[in-house]
Amino acid sequence: MIRELTWLPAVLKNAGLKVAPVDGWEERGSTMGTVLGVLCHHTAGPKAGNMPSLNTLLKGTKKVPGPLAQLGLGRDGTFYIVAAGRCNHAGSGIWKGVTNGNTHFIGIEAENTGLANDFPWPEVQMDAYCRGVAAILKHIGKDASFCAGHKEYRLPKGFKTDPDFDMDAFRKRVTDILNSDASPVLIPNEEETNNGTPGRKTIRRGDQGELVRLIQVKLGLTMDGVFGPKTEAVVRQFQRDHQLVPDGIVGPKSWKVFDAVPAAHPQPA
């Protein structure tokens, strides 16, 4: 069954953010109530990797079944769309009079250990966090006061410590974004061409087709035409090797570099 929050990818993309839908996200989660705000979390996951806690968000833990949040936020500022329905992220607590956070708050689990070894947070991730929250609040018609940290919502007080940054300063940044007249810088949907004809589209996790196969040929991957987690991981490494932003998204800059490298020998299907 398709769940209620199918608007999430478009709202985030329209804010100029990087979005990576996770297979099955539209049907993941249970029935969601009216969205009244956002709860911010950190994963307390591993130090290495962009979004190493993604599988935990999907499947849950021994104590709490998944999905554990609608959104995961990688260290590079990519929002992973985990679920379009209700998720188990809030627990018992209260914020703005709301006591059922799982039903009424969208949960964002941002990748961070929550320890001194992962602080301060990467600015690219913090900027995306603020802009993502602002985009959601604008969509639901709420101000920044309807964004809370898990540590602020959860009872008894002091039971949770996430996220480990100053929430008042965070809300101030969100408010500034909501009050700004500046238009977001959008990720190009396709390459620009000299003759005005459409160029190759920007490819990201969840896409399928011939352009994905072309990428897989260049990377020496099995040519199944599906941009899944393995293809994304190898794209990220390719981008690192060629001094590109390792966001796992093949846009105009990455296409230009792909054009300049020979095809690797593809693995048998």
Q: Name which residue leads in pLDDT, 215 or 1.
A: 215
Enter the pTM of the model: 0.83
| Rg from Cα positions in the chain | 19
Quote the mean pLDDT of the chain: 92
CATH 3.40.80.10 domain locations along the chain: 8-179
Residues in CB range of 136: below 8 A, 6 or more apart: 8, 11, 12, 35, 38, 106
Q: Name which residue leads in pLDDT, 230 or 133.
A: 133
Structure tokens at 79: 């929002």
Do 32 and 86 contact (CB within 8 A), yes or no? yes
Pick the CATH number of 8-179 from 3.30.200.20, 3.40.80.10, 3.40.50.300, 3.90.1150.10: 3.40.80.10
The answer to which of 34-38, 145-149, 191-195 has the lowest mean pLDDT is: 191-195
Q: What are the tens digits of pLDDT across the range 4-36?
A: 999 999 999 999 998 988 889 999 999 999 999
Nearest to 54 by CA among 46, 38, 119: 46
CATH 1.10.101.10 domain locations along the chain: 188-269
Calculate the alpha carbon distances from 16 to 49, 52, 79, 136, 157 in Å.
23, 23, 11, 13, 35
What pLDDT is attached to residue 149? 98
Torsion of CA 232, 234, 237, 239, to 10 degrees: -60
What would the mean pLDDT of 79-94 be, rounded to a whole number? 97
Query: Band of the pLDDT at 191, cuts 50, 70, 90?
Result: confident
What pLDDT is attached to residue 264? 78
The amino acid at residue 88 is N
Q: What are the tens digits of pLDDT across the range 203-234?
A: 988 899 999 999 999 999 988 999 988 898 89
Please name the CATH architecture into which domain 188-269 falls: Orthogonal Bundle (1.10)
